[in-house]
Amino acid sequence: MDRLALVVPCYNEEAVLEISAKELKRVLEDLIGKEKIAKDSFILFVNDGSKDRTWELIEKEYQASSLVYGLKLAGNVGHQFALTAGLLAAKDLCDIAVSIDADLQDDTAVIEEMVDLYHEGKDIVYGVRNDRKKDSWFKRTTAQGFYKVMAAMGVKTVYNHADFRLMSKRALEYFSKFEETNLFLRGMVPLIGYETDCVYYERKERVAGESKYPLKKMLSLAWNGITSFSVKPISLITGLGVLIIILSICAAIYAFLSYFFGTVEPGWTSLILSIWFLGGVQLIAIGMIGQYIGKIYIEVKHRPRYNVETLLTHEKE
């Protein structure tokens, strides 16, 4: 029978940890009872350098239940890295991994559907939100805009899918070969291949605690997603440059004609405006290219992506 690992990144989640541990244990016990997964399936809580009591609570859950494992990272590395750390640690211990947020916004009821699809031969099953009524207007609009921009930039992602997904052992095996530091899991997982499927669910409100994804982190995730997967912004800049050159040729023809017919106006407004405008465009272009060079710089250093401090398991030697 296949061993399932539920991988849960946690950053300052003391408010929800006990509730989600209870719920996730219930889900595992239910699936074990139905003989869909092995008895030694487990939940792996990844503590992403929390500043509150999250790790203490994880240790407590670990001592109380053989279903709970814990992974402690030495500092806060962010959701994408924490999740990767958890998936790669789980890879050697499990046959299937499902990643889910600690706040239970994703519907645990569809985990069973995911497992069923896995048994039908799917290697990756995406959890897709079929509505976002529970998200704030702002979050909904920005998130959906993001998926559209990604698509326009030619990055393959699954619409309305975040990081709630099932991956088989061989999908994880292949995923572990991605060594990049600029992580954007939603863009990387579709590159694995194999047969995939989706399950649909309604996104709920956070059980407790606050979002750990403020606007700044959301924007940086979106920006990282685009620039790690697409060089289209650079070609857009090139296109803009060509357009401006065409415009300036038209302006030159116009100026020449009006000089010829003696209608030229004295004035520097147009001159100054165009200098400023072009200066701005050039700065954006340089900045844009700089972003990519910065990314190359970070990749080239080949630093370790996270530091595992402790791994608590109930593995038998």
In the complex, the residues that contact ligand UDP under the rule CB under 6 A are 9-11, 13, 48, 76, 78-79, 82, 101-103, 105, 211-213
CB closer to ligand UDP, 82 vs 199: 82
CB closer to ligand UDP, 281 vs 312: 312
Which of ligand UDP, Mg ion, none sits in contact with 129, Cβ below 5 to 8 A by type? none
Shortest distance, CB of residue 105 to Mg ion, whole angstroms? Answer: 4
Which of Mg ion, ligand UDP, none sits in contact with 82, Cβ below 5 to 8 A by type? ligand UDP
CB closer to ligand UDP, 71 vs 93: 71
Sequence-separated (6 or more) residues with CB below 8 Å from residue 225: 146, 150, 155, 157, 184, 186, 187
* Long-range CB contacts (within 8 A, 24+) of 262-269: none
Shortest distance, CB of residue 238 to Mg ion, whole angstroms? Answer: 38
Give the C-alpha separation, 250 to 270, whole Å.
14
**205 contacts 137 by C-beta, under 8 angstroms:** no
Q: What is the dihedral of CA 154, 81, 220, 298, to 10 degrees?
A: -80
Shortest distance, CB of residue 127 to Mg ion, whole angstroms? Answer: 13
CB closer to Mg ion, 24 vs 117: 24
Give the C-alpha separation, 101 to 161, whole Å.
13
Shortest distance, CB of residue 41 to Mg ion, whole angstroms? Answer: 24
Q: Letter for the amino acid at 64?
A: A
Shortest distance, CB of residue 20 to Mg ion, whole angstroms? Answer: 11
Give me the half-sphere count of Cα atoms (radius 13 Å) on the Cβ side of residue 161: 25
Which of ligand UDP, Mg ion, none sits in contact with 6, Cβ below 5 to 8 A by type? none
Going by C-alpha positions, the residue among 52, 86, 75, 90 that lies closest to residue 208 is: 52
Which of Mg ion, ligand UDP, none sits in contact with 107, Cβ below 5 to 8 A by type? none
Give the C-alpha separation, 70 to 45, whole Å.
5
CB closer to Mg ion, 61 vs 103: 103
Shortest distance, CB of residue 25 to ligand UDP, whole angstroms? Answer: 17
Q: Tell me how far apart the terminal alpha carbons of the chain are, to the nearest angstrom.
A: 20
- List C-alpha distances in Å: 124 to 81, 147, 175, 195: 19, 20, 11, 7
CB closer to ligand UDP, 42 vs 123: 42
Which of ligand UDP, Mg ion, none sits in contact with 130, Cβ below 5 to 8 A by type? none
Which of ligand UDP, Mg ion, none sits in contact with 115, Cβ below 5 to 8 A by type? none
Shortest distance, CB of residue 47 to ligand UDP, whole angstroms? Answer: 8
Report the interface residues with Mg ion, using CB under 5 A. Answer: 101, 103, 105
Which of ligand UDP, Mg ion, none sits in contact with 65, Cβ below 5 to 8 A by type? none
CB closer to Mg ion, 59 vs 103: 103
- List C-alpha distances in Å: 55 to 15, 48, 81, 212: 12, 9, 17, 17
